[in-house]
Chains A and B, each alone.
Chain A
Amino acid sequence: MEPTAIDHLDAAKSSITLSLDAGLYPADVVYGAAYVFIDRAYVLLDRAGTATKPSGRLLVHLRGKEALDEAGLEALAGEFGNELLSQALRRKVVKQNHKLIEDITAQAIAGAAGGILPTDFLQGEDDGMDFLDDPLGIAVPWEDKFQKADKTDEPSEN
């Protein structure tokens, strides 16, 4: 049987059932794909067979939130299949690069936490200034600074 196959299609109910090879598509891959589709379809998962006689296949029931004809349902199934592949690949890449991702994240967090900063402060030169000193006149109010200039700009009443 195919890895992904249309098990059942009912255009009158806008629903389609896909049968997937559970060995090829682990449950979390199917969850990921289902998540992408929940805004436009109702998704229900099930397993084919019984506990005593498992068939090794997952069933995905999709029902469009909007009415879909046969072509629309087949397109939906195709898109779901593509999304399954995308999720499977994504999972594989994350698994392969897990160590690298962890290392980069750890470095980024360490940098953002500013672990080196306190040492920099200690090494900095003491300029001997008090925190109340204001050599650039930043604390002087604007009115005091520009009072005279404003008065000269005023038009004379004559």
Chain B
Amino acid sequence: MTDTIIRLHRGLYMQQAVKQAATDFADFATFQIGRDGDHYTVTITDIDPDTDGDVAAEFCNFALIHTAARKRKKTA
């Protein structure tokens, strides 16, 4: 099965939020987080074939929302 690689800009996504999203989806796939210049690279493998929906895209939504929540907490 081919790996899915996602690039998340480090200025827009927080590392802890990306890790939290990876933990949220750990039951559905394997996530490996790395860095490449301005971006975090998330390599998604072993996606559960029985899972409904797009795991990679949902993961991105979660990473974004966790980032927004953490940033809001920081400014509050």
Question: B-contacting residues of A (Cβ < 8 Å)?
Answer: 27-28, 31-32, 34-35, 38, 42-47, 50-51, 58, 63
Interface string of B27-48 (1 = CB under 8 A from A): 0000000000110000000000
Pick 7 A–B contacts, CB within 8 A, sort by A: A34-B64, A34-B68, A38-B61, A38-B65, A44-B64, A47-B38, A51-B37
Contacts of B9 in A (CB 8 A): 45-47
Q: Smallest Cβ distance from B48 to chain A, in angstroms?
A: 18
Whether A43 touches B12, Cβ cut-off 8 Å, given contacts A28-B72, A34-B68, A51-B37, is no
Size of the chain B interface, CB-CB below 8 angstroms: 21
Q: CB distance B38 to A31 under 8 Å? A: no
Q: CB distance B68 to A35 under 8 Å? A: yes
Q: CB distance A31 to B61 under 8 Å? A: no
Contacts of A63 in B (CB 8 A): 57
Most buried by B among A27, A28, A31, A35: A31
Question: A-contacting residues of B (Cβ < 8 Å)?
Answer: 6-9, 11-13, 37-38, 54, 57-58, 60-61, 64-65, 67-68, 71-72, 75
Contacts of A58 in B (CB 8 A): 12
Number of A-B contacts (CB under 8 A): 49
Q: How far is the CA of A45 from the CA of B11 in the complex (A)?
A: 10
Report which of B11, B54, B72, B75 forms a contact with A47, defined as CB distance below 8 A: B11
Q: CB distance B57 to A31 under 8 Å? A: no
Contacts of A45 in B (CB 8 A): 9, 12-13, 64
Q: Smallest Cβ distance from B42 to chain A, in angstroms?
A: 11
Report which of B37, B54, B68 forms a contact with A31, defined as CB distance below 8 A: B68
The 3 nearest A-B residue pairs measured at CB: A31-B68, A42-B57, A45-B12
Whether A27 touches B60, Cβ cut-off 8 Å, given contacts A35-B68, A38-B65, is no
Report which of B6, B13, B65, B71 forms a contact with A28, defined as CB distance below 8 A: B71
Q: CB distance B58 to A35 under 8 Å? A: no
